[in-house]
Structure 1
């Protein structure tokens, strides 16, 4: 039974926030994040949940948080359930650090439309879709609770006081180090980490990596073995990400713009998305996907959280 949303109330709970995908329960010094099976695209939550998507996101993020903890301190303390992560309650920075190694997705659409500067970063002429960039670039965006995230430059972030320059320098260093590690780990699995986003927070003067890392919702992967051949032929890249969901929406006349209606999602399409998420988990981590018990996922999750916070 897919997890559309949760409505728990715990002893000592100080707040609750429902994001596009996660239900977040606040405690004085901790956050409990429940990864639901909701799926969003173009900053809109689609009408049908995707079976096992939340478990894939939660377990993929935990895998990479543990694998990068030697590079960057992160928020994660425990994973008491396949859909639940518990961690430090940090004050989040109001920007997402988007790192791009290739010209794909949003960056390509901007480039195709004639833009040669993205978030203040100049791009060379003559690039094609999915070409590798001369070096990884950071293209930040503001973090919106509602509506669309917006591109913003490094200079604007500092000028507006969204992040101090000293903190932003650390965010840049951390983001590039994480992207390098993520690229190396992807290469070991026959993949290319194309682009990804990182979120950071601060607690007691320390900057932490928060939220998810290198998941299909935050990252785009290409298959390495067909990359060169497809680029030379001008063919689409075989990829592991939720870009295929965005492409389906675009083909059906939806890009999150005012007045547009989300197309109907058939059972077959929902199951196909689920299968793609599971494929990504197994491919990226090299681990078999073990579905969580479906008997009563709400009760299972609630009991796991209660046991953790008591």
Structure 2
């Protein structure tokens, strides 16, 4: 079996029984189960959800996304070996710690395979909740140009690149295009302030103004849990993106939960501690891949300028990246995952066949 065969690059063609179109994102695909299958699993598996809760199968791929494009490599390599398993394993680990420490639940109900989650439908809060402990990346680029206010929060002069910030900053941005919110442009991924959230909490899908405090508390607590655990491995949790949503449990109680993924190399920057103390940045996250792309192509503005998206998509489509680049990224993902979970990562030789078998034989979801 070739290396390319071990990569799960297409994950929206599985024969999972569904009555709706498969939703395929940059990395994950979502199969909404039929009402009959959802109800059967709720009853048979004892999930803490209402009897009629819609359930889905979420399948992660090994695709690599950066700058809103999907990249590929030489030799038919359509993703990064082990990436999907690494992301799921890391998220599973942090979600479990959050539950054990009384923070909040997640949307995940069961994990039938290293690349698969069974999830409940959540009503998403329409913000990407960004927490920053160090000044780097886009925030540093803006700071260097003279900006001193981020999402309504003033930060002092005199900071240096990659320096630890005086406090953890919460800098939310919109998730999707939100219409009709005063002072908030109707474009995806635009920064918003705490005041914007408070004045328009329902437009952002919060159930109450008090839940803005709740989301900030869960964000800080989740960040602190991950940061402390990574510090034990001499790794620095630099910044991250959390997402939140609402679900209803079996008793009919609505609750705010963590959703999507948390603390992964895709959603976070993670730096090697010894290197940082010696004045170097060694990334244990996707950020290293982003930097490689910026250096790999002569005109890096194509990757940074949203007005040049057509050119950017052509770059991703027409360029086979060196296999060595994707294998180095594989070592980054698998390496940090194995350190976080404290065990070897299970990587499938034939992931698609394994997923089909377990969903057919144990869950009755494949005809």
By the TM > 0.5 criterion, same fold? Answer: yes
Matched, 1:168 2:212: yes
Contact 1:36–1:54 (Cα < 8 Å) also in 2: yes
Please tell me whether residue 265 in structure 1 is matched to residue 321 in structure 2. yes
1:233 counterpart residue number: none
Which deviates the most, 242-251 or 24-33? 24-33
Structure-2 residue corresponding to 1:34:
59
Taking only aligned residues, the RMSD between alpha carbons, in angstroms, comes to 2.0
- The whole-number CA distance in structure 2 between the counterparts of 1:102 and 1:309 is 47
Q: Residue 15 of structure 2 contacts residue 356 of structure 2 at CA under 8 Å; is this kept in 1?
A: no
CA distance in structure 2 between the aligned counterparts of 1:199 and 1:116, rounded to whole angstroms: 26
Matched, 1:50 2:80: yes
* Deviations, residues 81-117 of structure 1 (Å, cap 9, x unaligned): 1111112221111111111111122222221222111
> What's the secondary structure of 1:20's corresponding residue?
coil
Secondary structure at 1:255's aligned position in 2? Answer: helix
Aligned 8 A contact 1:191 1:221 in 2: yes
C-alpha contact (below 8 Å) 1:53/1:277 kept by paired residues:
yes
- Counterparts of 1:230-309 in structure 2, within 5 Å, are 230=279, 236-251=280-295, 252=297, 253=300, 254-255=302-303, 257=305, 258=308, 259-260=311-312, 261-262=315-316, 263-292=319-348, 294=349, 296-306=350-360, 307-308=362-363
Q: Distance in 1 between matches of 2:65 and 2:191?
A: 19
2:168 to 115, 122, 136: 136
1:67 aligns with 2:73: no
Is residue 84 of structure 1 aligned with residue 116 of structure 2? yes
**The 10-residue stretch of structure 1 (208-217 or 164-173) with the greater mean CA deviation from structure 2:** 164-173
TM-score between both structures, scaled by the size of structure 1 = 0.90
Q: Could you tell me whether the CA contact under 8 Å between 2:95 and 2:105 is conserved in 1?
A: no
CA shift digits 1:13-34 (9 cap, x unpaired): 5452111110111235222211
CA distance in 2, matches of 1:53, 1:288: 14
CA distance, structure 1, for counterparts of residue 167 and residue 106 of structure 2: 25
Q: Does 1:106 align with 2:150?
A: no
Q: Does 1:24 align with 2:33?
A: no
User: Whose radius of gyration is greater, 1 or 2?
Assistant: 2
> Do the aligned residues in 2 keep the contact of 1:189 with 1:286 (CA within 8 Å)?
no
Residues 125-159 of structure 1, C-alpha deviations (whole Å, 9 max, x = no match): 111111111111111121239x9633222222343
What is aligned with 1:209?
258
Q: 1:213, 1:168 → 2: CA distance?
A: 19
CA distance in 1 between counterparts of 2:364 and 2:125 reads 26
5+ unaligned residues in a row in structure 2: which ranges?
A: 36-53, 73-77, 178-186, 249-253
- Residues 124, 205 of structure 2: 8 Å contact kept: no
TM-score (norm 2): 0.77
Corresponding residue for 2:41? none
The separation in 2 between residues aligned to 1:116 and 1:81, in whole angstroms, is 46
